[in-house]
Amino acid sequence: MKRYSLIVILLLCIVSVMPADAKIRFGIKVGANVTKQNTEIEKFELDNTALVNFTGGVTLDWNIAAGFGFDVSALYTAKGTEYVVGTNVLDGLLDNLSGTTVKNTIHYIEVPVNLKYKLEIPAIKDVFAPYVFAGPSFAFKVGETIKYAEDKKGHISIDNKSIDYALNVGLGMEFIKHLNIAVQYGWGLGTASELDFSALDATIASTTAGVWTVTVGWIF
């Protein structure tokens, strides 16, 4: 509950500093992301491969003044990684797990809050306008999909955390004042997942998520 309260307080603070003539527009956006897990590993090999997943939802665009504004969205976002356990697992203690593949996809409701600057050149701003943005993102887990061979199910477990934090930086282009195309990178700031072997009473690997995202949006 405290986490949700912090987001509400943040949004209220943003609203409180907005001038009365700020332009507010709503829209939708869809896109794809590629998640590369940065994994801290001790004493064994673990390869990971990024999986392409979907993101999409609603967005709110606040244009305050002089090209500055805020972009706040509520998105369904899936972030996935495929892990392959290496051949030298803890000096041979768990050789039966070598080569095991695990696909882990986490389903989130994600709330990015970005400060945005749009370069509006008078002669062309009605046709296209480039912009940059940056800000924090809060992702709340609503589900997960973990796939591995049934005979390995009791040997490997993944603990996906209930919330993930990130810092996003990106750039985009607005066409005809409605169509938006953007690309961003999100640096994971907290532990997204932990991986365990059931034969050991310890967390073997912890991961943070680095995510590239491309979106297409329409602002009404």
Q: In this predicted model, what pLDDT tens digit does every residue of 88-122 receive, in sequence order?
A: 655 555 656 777 888 999 999 999 999 999 998 88
CA 106, CA 132: separation in Å to the nearest integer? Answer: 28
pLDDT digit string, tens, across residues 32-85: 999 887 776 656 677 888 889 999 999 999 999 889 999 999 999 999 998 887
pLDDT digit string, tens, across residues 165-212: 999 999 999 999 999 999 999 999 999 998 887 666 656 778 888 999
Strand partners, 79: 106
pLDDT digit string, tens, across residues 135-151: 999 999 999 999 987 66
What tokens does 54 get? 């979907």
CA 7, CA 13: separation in Å to the nearest integer? Answer: 10
All structural domains of the chain: 22-219 (2.40.160.20)
Q: Shortest CA distance to 113 belongs to which of 178, 60, 172, 179?
A: 60
Tell me the pTM.
Answer: 0.85
Give the DSSP letter of residue 156.
Answer: E
Q: Which is it for the CA torsion 88, 94, 96, 98, positive or negative?
A: negative
